[in-house]
């Protein structure tokens, strides 16, 4: 068989392919049929709507959270480039669907609003979480009611109107791991939402361990280059319908150029995370042997791990003897900045920045103290990174 149809079949990616192959080809299955090699970017904000009667029905279907084929009508309803990224991420997380948002916080907001709209405003969460997530849950702006619980006590905190259980594992910034299978068992029928930003689907796929919903700040490892902001939720189609309804009403859709960059980032995600994780593990070992460091937090060093991560990942945190903020001020190669998951290494002081908006007593209770620094390991040579850390630690 010759022609575009045979080429399209040859480029179809399925679950029988390896994760690395899926990362390269997911969301690109129709490119040969289109006669192009790179995914196109659809920047249209509006689309022709000649038959008003037909389009009226399609508008109603979009508003109901469905995605009818054909013209998106208006880019707040849907965008083909965003759809490609969503399809690819759903493949990597082994989910029925994925829904893209303008940021990770927009994605979490939509999940909380979906719970509130379903009459389930109570949320049970496990600390630590990313500081912005913690703040959103605690501030009550969305009509939610929050109960904080330790793993093993989550079941006791669940009430009749509990709509979500939320956990981040490995946690930001302590890198604490939570056993997802055990936690899912505690949740019973309540959906378990897992923030998988730090782990990425390369090292951990929460749906395989009993979670119902997976959230990413796509700004981080999925994009991977510090030049795009976005969020995405991977889940079942039923929950995706509710999220799309909220996204249409609130206007929180991911922009098409951002979706293009995120989709491109997925292709190199496995090789980036593998290289970054190897360097992070080496740096964790060296820091653990350094007298200027009191504690190192890195999943790969934990003797009692749940076994759900395929590697220790590219993030670590450590507590210094002396003034941690002076270490941040003294780095030269490593960038002192918030965020994580970029090709270049970033270091920051969580108590001052990412977790500043969390109450001090809450920060302390979950291990985020003034001595802690969080390091997002990039693709630089390990010896160059170690030389920079070594000279910066002397400043402390």
By annotation, the residues acting in catalysis are 76, 130, 195, 220
Strand partners, 231: 101, 217
Residues 65/57, Cβ–Cβ less than 8 Å: no
CA dist 216 and 105 (Å) reads: 9
How many CA within 13 A on the CB side of residue 78?
A: 24
Order of all β-strands in the sheet with 162-168: 97-101, 231-235, 213-217, 192-195, 162-168, 122-125, 145-148
Residues 316/295, Cβ–Cβ less than 8 Å: no
Cα separations (Å) of 12 from 25, 269, 357? 8, 20, 46
Find, among 374, 353, 366, the residue nearest to 297 by Cα. Answer: 374
3-state SS of 51-77 is CHHHHHHHHHHHHCCCCCCCCCCECCC
3-state SS, residue 346 = strand
CB atoms within 10 A of CB 16: 7
Q: How many residues does the chain have?
A: 396
* CA atoms 46, 50, 52, 53: torsion sign: negative
Residues 203/313, Cβ–Cβ less than 8 Å: yes
DSSP 84-134: HHHHHHHHHHT-SEEEEESSHHHHHHHHHHHHHHTT--EEEE-S---HHHH
CA dist 361 and 364 (Å) reads: 5
Give φ, ψ of 145 to 5 degrees.
-125, 130
């Amino acid at each position: 068989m010759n022609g575009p149809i045979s080429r399209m079949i040859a480029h179809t990616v399925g679950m029988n392919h390896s994760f690395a192959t899926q990362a390269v080809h997911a969301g690109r299955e129709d490119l040969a049929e289109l006669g192009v090699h790179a995914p196109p970017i659809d920047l249209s904000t509006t689309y022709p709507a000649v038959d008003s009667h037909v389009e009226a029905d399609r508008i109603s279907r979009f508003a109901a959270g469905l995605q009818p084929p054909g013209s998106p009508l208006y880019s707040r309803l849907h965008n083909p480039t965003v759809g490609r990224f969503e399809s690819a991420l759903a493949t990597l997380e082994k989910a029925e669907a994925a829904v893209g948002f303008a940021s990770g916080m927009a994605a979490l907001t939509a999940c909380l609003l979906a719970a509130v709209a379903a009459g389930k405003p109570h949320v049970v969460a496990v600390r630590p979480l990313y500081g912005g997530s913690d703040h959103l849950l605690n501030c009550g702006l969305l009509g939610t009611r929050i109960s904080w619980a330790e793993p093993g006590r989550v079941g006791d905190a669940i009430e009749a109107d509990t709509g979500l259980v939320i956990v981040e594992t490995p946690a930001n910034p302590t890198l604490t791991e939570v056993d997802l299978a055990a936690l899912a068992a505690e949740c019973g029928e309540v959906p378990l939402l897992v923030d998988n930003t730090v782990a990425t689907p390369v090292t951990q796929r929460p749906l395989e361990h009993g979670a119902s919903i997976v959230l990413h700040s796509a700004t981080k490892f999925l994009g991977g280059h510090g030049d795009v902001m976005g969020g995405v939720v991977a889940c079942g189609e039923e929950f995706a319908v509710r999220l799309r309804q909220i996204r249409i009403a609130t206007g929180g859709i991911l922009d098409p150029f951002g979706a293009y960059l995120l989709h491109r980032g997925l292709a190199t995600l496995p090789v980036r995370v593998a290289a970054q994780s190897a360097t992070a593990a080496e740096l964790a070992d060296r820091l653990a042997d350094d007298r200027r460091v009191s504690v190192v937090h890195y999943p790969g060093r934990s003797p009692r791990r749940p076994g759900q991560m395929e590697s220790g990942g590219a993030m670590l945190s450590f507590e210094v003897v002396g003034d941690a903020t002076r270490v941040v001020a003294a780095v030269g190669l490593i960038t002192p900045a918030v965020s994580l998951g970029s090709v270049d290494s970033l270091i920051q002081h969580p108590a001052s920045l990412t977790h500043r908006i969390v109450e001090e007593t809450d920060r302390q209770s979950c291990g985020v103290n003034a001595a802690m620094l969080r390091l997002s390991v990039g693709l630089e040579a390990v010896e160059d990174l170690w030389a920079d850390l070594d000279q910066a630690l002397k400043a402390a």
